[in-house]
Amino acid sequence: MYKLFFKRFFDIFIGLIGVVVFSPFFLIVFVTLVINNNGTPFFYQNRPGLHEKIFKIIKFKTMNDKKDKNGNLLPDDKRLTKAGQFIRKTSLDELPQIINLLKGDMSIIGPRPLLPEYLPLYNDRQRKRHLVKPGISGWAQVNGRNAISWEQKFEYDVWYVENYSFFLDVKIFLLTFLKVFKSDGISKEGQETTTKFLGNA
């Protein structure tokens, strides 16, 4: 019953509470990024969701659009602003995904939505991560986030798909706040952003 109905009810209930509780933070971050990013506070990107259906994810934009002399975007660590670094560290960049949540693109808990270019690189087991809606947080995020390998991350994702329940979702939900408070697993040591998935060896 939870998987068929109450999970969506749980998402909407938490999402509406999130709108009320986090609206002051949303406004502060919005104004900060309008100033820092020349009027472009949001970042939109296509991501695969349930059954690999593509949707447009919404996040706060933590990197600027500076380019080199050839017109190519600078590396991520060169474009990550000081304000963006703080916003990413505190996971405030994820707040606009409440819109995706209320629209039904995402769930509170589920495998994180990755890039469409990764779809052909998954093996059959890894592809199971798309049998549920992607989440704002997930089992992999509370077990290392970006500090663990892609293989470990996918194993956590698939384990979640095969075992999720109301009590597991509540556990992940509570652990997420602890991880955000401690700023655990934002990135691997020596890196500002996560590395790209290049496929299975």
pTM: 0.86
Tokens of 22: 């986090």
- Angle of helix 7-36 relative to helix 82-89, nearest 10 degrees, comes to 160
b/e sequence 114-142, b meaning 16+ C-beta within 10 Å: beeebeebbeeebebbbebbbbbbbbbbb
List pLDDT tens digits, range 120-154: 999 999 999 999 999 999 999 999 877 789 999 99
DSSP 113: P
> What is the per-residue pLDDT for 189?
46
> What is the per-residue pLDDT for 184?
60
The better pLDDT of the pair 148, 181 is held by: 148
pLDDT at residue 179 tops 90: no
- Which whole number is the average pLDDT over 47-52? 97
pLDDT at residue 18 tops 90: yes
Tell which phi-psi region holds residue 111, choosing left (phi > 0), alpha (psi between -120 and 50) or beta. beta
- Which whole number is the average pLDDT over 106-130? 96
pLDDT at residue 36 tops 60: yes
For residue 182, the Cα-to-chain-centroid distance in whole angstroms is: 17
Across all residues in the chain, what is the average pLDDT?
Answer: 89
> What is the per-residue pLDDT for 48?
97
CA–CA dist 122, 157 (Å, integer) = 13
E runs forming strands in 61-156: 107-109, 135-137
> What is the per-residue pLDDT for 190?
45
Looking at 64-73, 92-101, 148-157, which range is the least confident one? Answer: 64-73
Contacts of 152 (CB under 8 A, 6+ apart): 140, 143, 144
- Which whole number is the average pLDDT over 179-198? 65
- Tally helices (H) and strands (E) across the chain: 6, 4
- Secondary structure class of 73 (helix, strand, coil): strand
Which residues are bridge partners to 57 per DSSP?
Answer: 45
CA–CA dist 88, 75 (Å, integer) = 17
CA–CA dist 18, 156 (Å, integer) = 26
> What is the per-residue pLDDT for 88?
86
The better pLDDT of the pair 166, 69 is held by: 166
> What is the per-residue pLDDT for 201?
65
